Amino acid sequence: MICKGPVSQSDLYVTLSMPTASIQTMKTKSIPNCNSPEWNETFHFRVNSHVKNILELNVYDEDLRRDDLCIRLFFDISTLILDKKETKVFITDEKAAPLSIVEVTIDKLPPEVGKNMLLTLRGAYNEDQVVSTSQKSNLMQTLRYFISKDVEPMIELQADGREAMTASPPPSPLSSASTSEVTFSFPAVKDTVSLQVNTVESSEEDMKVRLDFDIPAEEKAFLVKRREVVSHALQKILKLKSPLEPSKVPTMAVVCTGGGARAMTGMFGSLKGLQSLGFLDVISYITSLSGSTWTNAYLYNDPHWSEKDLDVAINLVKKELSKGTKTLFGPSRLRYYYSELRQKQKDGHPFSPIDMWGLIIENAIYGKNNEATLSDQQEAVSEGQNPLPIYTAVNMKRDAGGSMMAGEERTLNLRLVFFSWCEFTPYEVGFPKYGGFVPAEHFGSEYFLGHLIKKLPEIRVSFLLGLWSSVFSANLMLLWKHVTGAMPSWTSWLGEDVSSIETDDDDSTLDTLVLASNASTLSNFMHGRPMICKVFNFLRGFVLHNKYRESSTFNTLKETHLDAFPNRLTPMDRTLGLVDAGFEFNSAFPPVLRPHRHVDVVLSLSYSWDEDHLKILKKTQQYCAIRQLPFPNVDFSKFEGEPPREVYVFEDEKNPDAPIVVHFPLVNITFKDYKAPGVKRQGNKELKAGEVDVSTRSSPYVTSNLTYKADVFQKLVDLTCYNVSNNVDSIVSALERAMNRKGLAGKEK
């Protein structure tokens, strides 16, 4: 093994870690001046066989300045056989753990310590705690830590600003200790520190994280009420003699794209069109992404919004959005932003620069402070009177080598990134991929191993708006630069090379992976990472089951995919790094494609600026193929070279589980000649009203524009309203075919 090269001699050592078993990183001795060293050392890990345990081995070359990483290996120990000694040769050139509460009572301190000490249990919640050594402090001090019984913590002591000392391990694992006195010794301390450890186990009944891939009980109760509304709406639309059996009515969802103010404005028009046709009461879900979340957030402030004339809400937003950008950065507004950011920090939430963008969006669409929270929107669905809103984001995290990555594969700025979808409803927030959800009112609070450790005030919707539409923050930065003359710095997103050096035929085990040593020299993602919202991780402390790769929600077939590194996935992080779901693909399809929601018809409302009006559907099809989710099998090449359409309908007759998709792109085809379906425009004024540019760079609707003049706003509302109304037959036809699938074709009219 050569790290420096064939001429220079290396001083090599190996570190071993298994985060699912121990927080401690173990280390061999360093062998000087040898490029082919041999170590004969033994290390022990106590492991839980029900979780995915990956041994990480790092080979370093010791250096006076900084040790160089030569090789990094990831080895799945489930390939080993119990009680059988095995030799592994690596060719390098090519459910939830139970929570324990540990109370540490300190009754004897080193006499040479004059100031406060820092006692750390690495791997615990609240791992750093101060031990006061002042005369006024109690001699007997009790500190409380939360640990996993399956992961052995590492105990460190730091006094007088000196280097932290690691305690010698006790005879039995601390995590399995009962009420007893355990004495720890520190090599650099003349005396010992006596720690009396009292371990209290917490039951699964106390868990506040819902571990399940199904939808929650509250959503199921909502659907029962909503189906009653849908049944009567379908009777009216389809002119049926009697309502359909509520349990058999088709489930229709509206799926919206992002696009900043354009998406918000266009969505208002689309919903107005659906309302005029009576279809708002047929919809069970409305999912939104980026700019379209602004529309949902605004509407769901009113518990009965869909029962009222949408023109009222549209005119109020139009008035605010037409005020221009200067009002967003006036002195009073800047003071307000500063005050709210300070208050969020005082509440205990991590600060993220993107929080300010949420407040700017709040001012742009409401024109005033909005104190509403996500859980407040439960009132708007309490009787099934409105569709259930689902907001989306994706989680970004660091890749196996430490550079910034996220959960699903995509090339962005010459590097590979990954995303994991997170959904927000008035009931809960969570990751369908992991089957982990928390109540909406507790999102942002501190959790460990599924237990609510520290409850914080619920995050306001205004801050969530910044999170949900953070991809738009680049444009908000331009506005900020216009006012302040300064702009945050950006750097490239770079990845690292990963290769597989050992494989087997067992799908439940992972290949042994090696990371190239030059990866550590690559630049990290953005200095300030302004578009990332940091939130306490409610999955913290959980570990993956040893059969996790058998789940279709994980992509472990590629060794370059983050899912192939279980020790680097979301549950291992202290905080989440949530960003606009548009970084993945620009449509909020994933929530309605979950099998437990049984969506039959999807109205895809696109406000995307892509020249290819079917791009988001292609992305969705790829997403579904990876996860084995039902979706229409469409040959998109058939549409190449065709002129755009106002509506596309896709159905997979061979797969009845795939939803029927009715797709509305943002186009101006017949609207320029017709002011209403079947009503031609007359005179110059009406023809002028039909001139809505939604395709060129000179359009007022380009994503960089946050505000619109009143007439520009209204034109886009009218266009998207018309496009829906003009294609009502396509919606009705899709509903009828969905009913046929459910055996309702013979219902008398």
pLDDT of 182 reads: 56
pLDDT of 101 reads: 60
SS3 281: helix
81 burial type by CB count under 10 A (0-12 exposed, 13-18 middle, 19+ buried): exposed
pLDDT band at 559 (very low <50, low <70, confident <90, very high): low
pLDDT of 47 reads: 81
pLDDT of 478 reads: 55
Q: pLDDT for 708-736, tens place per residue?
A: 999 999 999 999 999 999 999 999 999 99
pLDDT of 678 reads: 95
pLDDT band at 565 (very low <50, low <70, confident <90, very high): low
pLDDT of 190 reads: 54
pLDDT of 405 reads: 41
Residue 21, pLDDT above cutoff 90 = no
Q: What would the mean pLDDT of 90-110 be, rounded to a whole number?
A: 53
- 208 DSSP 8-state letter: -
pLDDT of 523 reads: 30
Q: What's the pTM value of the predicted model, to 2 decimals? A: 0.76
Q: What would the mean pLDDT of 653-668 be, rounded to a whole number?
A: 96
pLDDT of 509 reads: 41
- The residue from 580, 600, 604, 608 that is catalytic is 580
For 613-634, the DSSP string reads TTHHHHHHHHHHHHHT------
More confident residue, 550 or 212: 212
Residue 746, pLDDT above cutoff 50 = no
Q: What would the mean pLDDT of 71-99 be, rounded to a whole number?
A: 63
Share of the chain above pLDDT 90, in %: 46
- 241 DSSP 8-state letter: S
For this structure, is 290 an active site residue? yes
Residue with structure tokens 């509407």? 299
Q: What would the mean pLDDT of 608-619 be, rounded to a whole number?
A: 95
Positive or negative torsion for Cα 737, 741, 745, 749: negative
CB 291 within 8 A of CB 262: yes
Residue 692, pLDDT above cutoff 50 = yes
B/e letters for 220-256, b = 16+ CB within 10 Å, e = fewer, are eebbeebbebbbbbbbebeebeebbebeebbbbbbbb
CB 648 within 8 A of CB 663: yes
pLDDT of 266 reads: 98
Domains of the chain: 1-93+497-520 (2.60.40.150), 99-206 (2.60.40), 217-490+526-537+573-741 (3.40.1090.10)
pLDDT of 603 reads: 99
Residue 528, pLDDT above cutoff 80 = no
Please state which of the ranges 281-285, 308-312, 480-484, 735-739 shows the lowest mean pLDDT. 480-484
Q: What would the mean pLDDT of 683-697 be, rounded to a whole number?
A: 95
pLDDT of 200 reads: 62
SS3 189: coil
264 burial type by CB count under 10 A (0-12 exposed, 13-18 middle, 19+ buried): buried
Q: pLDDT for 472-522, tens place per residue?
A: 655 555 555 554 555 443 323 323 333 333 444 444 444 444 444 433 322
In terms of residues, how long is the chain? Answer: 749
Q: Which two tokens stand for residue 423?
A: 């959904």
pLDDT of 80 reads: 73
Q: pLDDT for 211-251, tens place per residue?
A: 888 999 999 999 999 999 999 999 999 999 899 999 889 99
95 burial type by CB count under 10 A (0-12 exposed, 13-18 middle, 19+ buried): exposed
Q: What would the mean pLDDT of 151-162 be, rounded to a whole number?
A: 69
Residue 103, pLDDT above cutoff 80 = no
Between helix 310-321 and helix 710-725 the angle, nearest 10°, is 150
Residue 310, pLDDT above cutoff 80 = yes
pLDDT band at 645 (very low <50, low <70, confident <90, very high): very high
SS3 119: strand
Residue 561, pLDDT above cutoff 60 = no
Q: What would the mean pLDDT of 578-591 be, rounded to a whole number?
A: 92
Q: What would the mean pLDDT of 581-604 be, rounded to a whole number?
A: 95
pLDDT of 59 reads: 87
- Phi and psi at residue 648, in whole multiples of 5°? -125, 140
pLDDT band at 115 (very low <50, low <70, confident <90, very high): low
- The residue from 290, 352, 445, 517 that is catalytic is 290
pLDDT of 96 reads: 42
The radius of gyration of the chain's CA atoms, rounded to the nearest angstrom, is: 29
CA dist 292 and 608 (Å) reads: 11
CB 318 within 8 A of CB 714: yes
Q: What would the mean pLDDT of 694-716 be, rounded to a whole number?
A: 94
- 681 DSSP 8-state letter: -
- 22 DSSP 8-state letter: B
For this structure, is 148 an active site residue? no
Label residue 259 left, alpha or beta by phi (over 0 means left) and psi (-120 to 50 means alpha).
Answer: left
Among 12-16, 404-408, 615-619, top mean pLDDT goes to 615-619
Residue with structure tokens 């059996």? 245
pLDDT band at 331 (very low <50, low <70, confident <90, very high): confident
Please state which of the ranges 311-325, 562-576, 625-639, 700-714 shows the lowest mean pLDDT. 562-576
CA dist 736 and 718 (Å) reads: 27
Q: Which two tokens stand for residue 254?
A: 């509206």
CB 153 within 8 A of CB 182: no
pLDDT band at 526 (very low <50, low <70, confident <90, very high): very low
CA dist 73 and 512 (Å) reads: 7
CA dist 487 and 133 (Å) reads: 46
Q: What would the mean pLDDT of 109-123 be, rounded to a whole number?
A: 64
Contacts of 39 (CB under 8 A, 6+ apart): 14, 28, 29, 31
pLDDT of 673 reads: 97
- Among 483, 575, 590, residue whose Cα is nearest residue 529: 575
Q: What would the mean pLDDT of 25-40 be, rounded to a whole number?
A: 84
- Among 612, 605, 588, residue whose Cα is nearest residue 695: 612
pLDDT of 672 reads: 96
Average pLDDT, the chain: 79
CB 21 within 8 A of CB 45: yes
Q: What would the mean pLDDT of 8-28 be, rounded to a whole number?
A: 84
Share of the chain above pLDDT 70, in %: 69
Please state which of the ranges 214-223, 354-363, 421-430, 720-729 shows the lowest mean pLDDT. 354-363
pLDDT band at 664 (very low <50, low <70, confident <90, very high): very high
Q: pLDDT for 440-453, tens place per residue?
A: 999 999 988 888 98
